[in-house]
Each structure stands twice: as C-alpha cells, then as structure tokens.
Amino acid sequence: MSSSDYPVVIVGAGPAGSAAALTLARKGLRPLLAERFTFPREKVCGDGLTFRSLSILKELNLYDRISSCPSALPVKEARAVTAEKTVFAGPIPTLPDGSVGFISIPRRELDQILARAASEAGAELAENFSVSAVRRNGGTMEVTGNHKGREKTIRTNLVIGADGAQSIVSRQAGLYRLRPRFCEVSIRAYFTDLDEPVRWLELYYDKRVIPGFAWLFPLAGGIANIGIGIRMDHLKNRSLKNLYREFISDYPPLKKRLKKAKMLDHPRGTLIPGYGQSGKIFSDGVLLAGDAASLSDPLVGEGVGEALLSGVAAGETAARAVSAGDFSGSFLRQYQKEIRRRLNPDFRFAPLFQNWPQIHKAAAAMMLRAERDPDFGRIMIGMASGAISKREIARWDFLAPTVMGYWGRKK
C-alpha cells in the first residue's frame, strides 16, 4: 500500500464500516477499509441478528450469504424467563417476505463475511492496520497508523469512524463523550454441553441487572452465548465479572442448565454506548457510525442493526459528498438528520423509561402481564427482536393495563 489518496477512508471493519465500504464500492468508488486486526477476530456481542439487521442485510443482498453460513442458526422462538419459571414462549416475527426474523451467528464469522463482501465489491481492505491519528491538514484529512509493522499516512477527503465505543476517530475529531447513565457494560461467555439442546432465545428478568438485560442465545453446534448487560452508573463499585459469575451460578434457570456445562473461554466484557448519549456524529471531513456514534438500542443493547443502518447511511452521504466535492460539516449534517429520522421514533423515550425510579416494578409488571396475556407476550418478543417499535411502550393504552395489573396483584 502506498500513501496515495482514497476518496474515503473507513476506520473499522465491523458491520458499520463494512456496510459503508460496500455502499461506496457499489457506487463505483474505491474506499480504504482499515481494520486493526486480522480476520477472523473476536468481538464481544450477543451474536444475534435481529429484525432490523436482517432487513438491512436483505437490502444489501447478503441475507442468503449470511443465513447459509454453517455457523448460522435460524432462531424461531423466544422465551421470557424469571427465576421461578418461563412466563411466555412464542414465535419470533418473520420478515415481511416470510424469511426467518432472527439468526444467531458469531461475530467472528459475521464481520468477516461483511468485510469480504465489501472487498469483493471494490473496497480495499487493509487488515492489521492500527490507526493512531486522524487530523485535518488544510483541506485534506490525514489518517496515520501502523500497517503490518510499517507507519503509513493516508490522505483522503473524508474519514468514516466505525471503530467502536472507544473510537480514535471520534476522539481526535473532538466528538467523543462518555455518559455512564446512557451506556451499558456487558459480559458474555460461550458454553457447551448444556443439560438439553437449546434452539430458542431466552430473555431473563433479574433485579441485579436492571436497568439492563440478560440473555441466552443459541448457536450452531450446541453452543450457547450467555451474557448480561447493566447500565454503567448502576454497576457502581461492583465487579462486572463477579456479578456475571454470581448470576450464572445461582440464577435457577441457568444453575440447572449449566450444572454439567463447560465454559469454552473466559468471560469477555465490552462497553455498549446507548443512543441516548449521542451528540454530534459529524464534523468537517468526518462521519461516525455504529458504536463510534453511540447508536445502540438503549433498552436491549442490540447494536448490529443500528451499525448496519448507519454504515449504509454514512456510505450514501459520503458518496454524495464526493460527487459534490463538499466535505464540510454543513454538508455532512444531512447524515445526522437521517440517522435521527430513522432511530428517534424507536429510541428517544428509552432514557426516560430507564431513569424511572420504579423501573424494577415496571419490568416485573411486564413479565406478569406477558404470563397472563399471550398477545402482550408476543408484543414484548416483537420489541425485543426489533420487529415492533419500542415506542409502543410509551403509549398510555399499552402502559396502563400493565401497571394497574401489577399493583392490583400486590394489594
């Protein structure tokens, strides 16, 4: 690789970066896609592709490629589980064309497939490229890093930062911020030899991780991805790893299931920057996408769908900027407007729900109503899988029967 110019440099080849690179390449441009590691590489995640993720993969003509991967597992059922019992089990909504609406696939496989697709379309994939600096030099952006042991400086007009929650691009562009009450920290591990084969998704209710989430996602080969996520400011002085080990060892549904199971590797944690903390995600010559832009679902921690959505939008905006020869913040502002238009209806109320003093009781009320009302249970599964907008929770006709039913039972 020489230090020749590229129309766009994308830092990070996760779902956001690869979607941006693929979008640009299919428009006839040749972006540079810089990835810190060499594929396949690990990424801490629940490993589930939700309704939004799969819908966008359909639009990118990659659904069949993903679903036919040997390590991909179609998941057609979800269950809501408390410490005492399964309160609801039902089908996960399908896509409009009837395709499976939830697929489990390890991120080490998914990210490699997406990066290879971008490369095949015409993007230049530079693995083992660790970016250390992004700066503006006159009217040009310069991206400096170590590529396979050699220092490189790449000149470009536009940088798309898709380099995760600790984004170097966002930091150097002055766009980075961390607000603990809008971020979750999560941890997961892989298990095998469970007491019974699991081919459904399980969502757990436990006070220790509220506001937060806990899950079991089945994977191909009898493997289960089991994890928890909790809002950063509620973790306080507790150890996330200790909380996780406590949860899997004494939470009744898991204690029995994991009695003879084997943990395949030590638990791994990550930071999930939620949508509520998002500030500016653009500046002169810079766009942010995926976790670098803090776009994850603040209620269930899902981020792949939002990464794909923002990656495509960043690629489309970048292509327009190249065509117009305008890489100013005033021109790139249209990208943020598009992201807000797409995600605000689903996520903007979430911080209010999470900060409600009675959130533990609200979560308990929803589990109780799901047990009594199958239609409500299906709505909750639809929301968790991304098929139904979470703005439904904010409707009074949705909330009132839930709250009244819970407090009525308590009397």
Render pLDDT for 64-95 as a digit per residue (tens, 0 to 9): 999 999 999 999 999 999 989 999 999 999 99
Residue 108 and residue 173 in one domain: yes
156 shares a domain with 248: no
pLDDT at 370: 83
In a domain, 85, yes or no: no
* Residue 92 within any structural domain of the chain: no
* Within-domain flag for 58: yes
Which of 219, 243, 273 corresponds to the end of one domain? 273
173 and 306 housed in the same domain: yes
Note whether residue 28 is domain-resident: yes
Domain boundary among 240, 273, 306: 273
Q: What is the pLDDT of residue 345?
A: 84
Whether residues 16 and 148 fall in one domain = yes
Residue after which a domain boundary falls, among 273, 295, 317: 273
CA distance 58 to 79: 26
Q: What is the pLDDT of residue 181?
A: 85
Q: What is the pTM of this model?
A: 0.94
> Taking the chain (411 residues) in consecutive chunks of 10 residues, what is each chunk's mean pLDDT?
74 98 98 97 95 97 97 96 91 96 97 98 98 93 95 96 97 92 93 92 90 94 96 89 95 92 96 87 98 92 96 98 97 97 83 63 77 85 85 67 55 45
- What is the predicted pLDDT for the residue at 139? 85
Residue 84 counted as domain residue: no
- DSSP secondary structure letter of residue 6: B
Q: Is 299 found in the same domain as 245? A: no
Residue 3: per-residue pLDDT:
41
386 CB-near residues (< 8 Å, 6+ apart): 50, 51, 52, 53, 297, 302, 305
Same domain, 13 and 144: yes
Q: Are residues 185 and 164 in the same domain?
A: no
Whether 223 is in a domain gets the answer yes
Q: How many domains does the chain divide into?
A: 3
| pLDDT value, residue 192 | 97
Query: Has residue 77 been placed in a domain?
Result: no
**Which among 3, 13, 14 has a CA at the least distance from the CA of 35?**
13
Same domain, 59 and 135: yes
Same domain? 266 vs 126: no
- For residue 93, tell me if it sits in a domain: no
pLDDT at 394: 65
The whole-number pLDDT of residue 390 equals: 75
pLDDT at 332: 98
Quote the CA–CA distance of 200 and 203 in Å, as a whole number. 10
To which residue do tokens 């799901």 refer?
Answer: 370
> Within this chain, do residues 298 and 149 fall inside the same structural domain, yes or no?
yes
The CATH number that applies at residue 156 is 3.50.50.60
pLDDT score for 398:
66
* Residue 288 φ/ψ, nearest 5 degrees: -115, 145
Confidence at residue 366, expressed as pLDDT on a 0 to 100 scale: 78
234 lies in the same domain as 306? no
- Clarify whether residues 129 and 55 are in a common domain: yes
Residues 309-324: b if buried by 16+ CB within 10 A, e if exposed: bbbbbbbbbbbebbee
- Domain CATH for 250: 3.30.9.10
Q: What is the pLDDT of residue 127?
A: 98
Domain carrying residue 365: 356-410
Residue 54, C-beta contacts closer than 8 angstroms, at least 6 positions apart? 63, 95, 99, 100, 101, 102, 103
Cβ–Cβ < 8 Å for 23, 119: no
